[in-house]
Amino acid sequence: MKTSTDGPLHQRLSAEFLRRINSGEWPEGRPVPSEAQLCAEFGVSRGPVRQALATLRREGSLVGGQGKPPVARRTAPSQPFATFLSFTQWAESIGRVPGQRTVEVARRRASPEAAARLGLAEGEFVVELVRLRLLDGVPAMVERSSFIAEVGRHLYDFDPDSGSVYAELLRRGVGLHHARHTIDAVAADATDAQLLEVEVREPLLRVRRLTSSGQGEPLEYGDDRYLPAMATFTIDNTIEGRTVVGRYRTEED
């Protein structure tokens, strides 16, 4: 089996091993091939193989240790921060089919919270987008976005069911540059429950997002509500102070 030629060898091996776990080629709960077997298969030394396996241990895709052979555990790959903004890019990066069903695109006065986050005066208009986001055709998240009028106007002649709104806005020259995410839990309201096919007050993971331009101008305030069975989030800190945020897909029973 050949790996991609992009990136360091241990990262390419890690990606291939993870693909095998998520595809079921390496069955969950079963030991994966030994280091010696992997070295022979890929024609590499033990160093890159060990690094790749260690990466999957840290991410939870391999369990076991202390003399025991590592065992495959199906879990969602993390999403690089560069694509954290886009549900579509994240879904495609983990080999899933993204989907969406637009509930509404409307010009209306900003809610008090959206106005405060976007730095707008009370009563100013925004363009609101509400979509149900799908993974492999299954409801996963309710997406609510409030765009400042100058940005939101681009949605009037774009079909949000056709794909990534962020990709379209970037294509049109909108300077999406920075996003600050706040993650907490919230009970499903009546709209959430209907769209996600759950009971009212079912617990959901909420990600509130403030997206800004390179100059720090707020462009969008988002409120995304995920089914916990479909996605989780991780934050990795390093001693150097670097933070990496990841979104994961959880496996359903």
Q: What's the average model confidence in pLDDT over 50-59?
A: 86
pLDDT in tens, 89-109: 778 877 788 999 999 999 999
The closest alpha carbon to 35, from 49, 48, 21, 25, belongs to 49
Full-model pTM: 0.64
The predicted model gives 25-33 an average pLDDT of: 89
Residue pointed to by tokens 């839990």: 185
How far, in whole angstroms, is CA 223 from its chain's centroid? 14
Among residues 251, 252, 201, the alpha carbon closest in space to that of 225 is found at 201
What is the tens place of the pLDDT at every residue in 119-150? 999 889 999 999 999 998 999 999 999 999 99
Amino acid residing at 201: R
| Alpha helices in the chain, H assignment, sequence order | 9-23, 35-42, 46-59, 87-93, 112-118, 149-152, 165-171, 190-196
> Checking DSSP bridges between strand 138-148 and strand 125-135, what pairing results, if any?
antiparallel
Report pLDDT for 220: 97
Q: Which two tokens stand for residue 32?
A: 């994966």
**Averaged pLDDT for residues 227-246:** 65
* pLDDT higher than threshold 50 for residue 211: yes
Query: In terms of DSSP bridges, do strands 218-226 and 232-237 run parallel, antiparallel, or are they unpaired?
Result: unpaired
**85 pLDDT higher than 50:** yes
Return the minimum-mean-pLDDT range out of 11-20, 120-129, 132-141, 217-226: 11-20
Residue 248 has what pLDDT? 57
Confidence of residue 81 (pLDDT cuts 50, 70, 90): very low
pLDDT digits (tens, 9 = 90+) for 175-207: 988 888 889 999 999 999 999 999 999 999 999
Question: pLDDT-derived band of residue 80, with 50, 70 and 90 as boundaries?
Answer: very low
